[in-house]
Structure formats: C-alpha cells, structure tokens
C-alpha cells in the first residue's frame, strides 16, 4: 500500500469489533470523524494490550491531574458496533498512546505493518500512519468494550486454529 497519513482530530467515535467466525475472527479498530471512517486490522493480543494500556493510562492521568473529572461510561448507552463500510486500510504493526493536557485529548497512533520483499531496503520503507485524537470517555469505552470482545473468544485459546481428534 502507498504511504498515507491520516489524522482525525477529534474523533466522534472509536470502537473495536470482529469480522468472521470464532477462531478465525479478524479484529478491527474503527474510528470516525464526520463522514470519514478509518478501520485498521490488528491481532487479538494487540487489542488486549491496547485496552490494558488505555486502562493504565487513564488511571495514571487521574492521579497526575487530580482536577480531571473521572466519569465511567455505560457501554449499554453507546453504539460500539462497527460501522459500514468495514474496509481496513492496513494491519497495525505498532500502536501507541499519548495525552495532550492542553486539549484534554488522548491520541492513539497506529503504524502500518510492512512486508519486506526480498532485495528491498527496510530503511526505505515508509509505513502509513493514523492518528486518532479523542476524549477520555471515548477511550474508556474502547477499553471496556475491547476487554469484553477479547474475553468473548474461546475459553481455551490453545484450541484456536487446531483440530482436535478423538479416538475411542
């Protein structure tokens, strides 16, 4: 894919959802601003880790900035479904979080996973980047929802993608 840089500041929504049957689900983070929707694919474990990082970041923010009002969101009141069209721009290689206290916004930065072809110089590759700026409550909802989605998988993750044979 050709290099692109997308910045949505601020986002109207952010969510995580899956496409496909259990065991072969494709995890997607999706955010939007106005009519622009950005969908990015990631691994299940990346989804779990980003949710844990958001949870840790929010906890740290409320300790460092005691004047911030902490409001826990009610997921039942929010639309956490993926919006159409679900067309991923790229698979995420790296994802990071930051906070701007002046705007009181969290930023999530995702970088594209690049496949290195034989003979290509990795130093010359330029991965696409997406920056998503949003309110703390939106990221709190993403955190809660992501943990629910990840936990809704198979009880025994070792059975993912494996065929189990039984002999009698």
Half-sphere exposure of 130 (CA within 13 A, CB side): 27
Residue 161: inside a domain: no
Contact yes or no for 153/136 (Cβ under 8 A): no
Contact yes or no for 48/153 (Cβ under 8 A): no
- What's the structural domain count of the chain? 1
> Which residue range is the domain that position 18 belongs to?
5-116+123-155
Residue 17: inside a domain: yes
Q: Which two tokens stand for residue 30?
A: 């999706």
Residue 98: inside a domain: yes
Residue 165: inside a domain: no
Residue 168: inside a domain: no
* pLDDT attached to residue 154: 59
User: What is the residue whose two structure tokens read 């929707």?
Assistant: 37
What would the pLDDT profile of 12-59 be if each residue is shown by its tens digit? 999 999 999 888 899 999 999 999 999 999 999 999 999 999 999 999
As beta bridge partners, residue 92 has 112
Q: Which two tokens stand for residue 23?
A: 């065991």
What would the pLDDT profile of 74-98 be if each residue is shown by its tens digit? 999 999 999 999 999 999 999 999 9
Contact yes or no for 39/30 (Cβ under 8 A): yes
3-state helix vs strand vs coil in the chain, percent to 5: 25, 30, 40
DSSP 81: S
What is the CATH classification number for the domain harbouring 133?
3.30.2450
pLDDT band at 159 (very low <50, low <70, confident <90, very high): low
Nearest residue to 94 (alpha-carbon basis) of 121, 131, 120, 123: 131
Residues 6+ apart with CB under 8 A from 164: none
Residue 166: inside a domain: no
Residue 136: inside a domain: yes
Contact yes or no for 94/111 (Cβ under 8 A): yes
What would the pLDDT profile of 104-145 be if each residue is shown by its tens digit? 999 999 999 998 778 777 777 899 999 999 999 999 999 999
Neighbours of 54 (CB within 10 A): 22
Residue 65: inside a domain: yes
pLDDT band at 165 (very low <50, low <70, confident <90, very high): very low
* pLDDT attached to residue 117: 79
């Amino acid at each position: 894919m050709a290099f692109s840089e997308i910045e949505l500041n601020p986002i109207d929504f952010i969510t995580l959802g899956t496409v496909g049957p259990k065991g072969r689900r494709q995890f997607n983070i999706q955010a939007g601003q106005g009519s622009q929707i950005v969908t990015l694919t990631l691994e299940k474990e990346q989804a779990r880790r980003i949710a844990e990082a958001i949870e840790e970041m929010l906890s740290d923010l409320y300790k460092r900035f005691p004047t911030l009002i902490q409001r826990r969101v009610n997921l039942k009141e929010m639309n956490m479904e993926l919006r159409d069209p679900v067309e991923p721009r790229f698979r995420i290689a790296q994802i990071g979080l930051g906070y701007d206290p002046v705007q009181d916004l969290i930023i999530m930065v995702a970088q594209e996973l690049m496949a290195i072809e034989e003979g290509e110089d990795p130093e010359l590759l330029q991965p696409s980047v997406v920056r998503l700026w949003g309110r703390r409550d939106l990221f709190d909802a993403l955190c809660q929802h992501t943990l629910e989605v990840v936990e809704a998988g198979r009880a025994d993750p070792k059975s993912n993608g494996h065929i189990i044979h039984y002999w009698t």
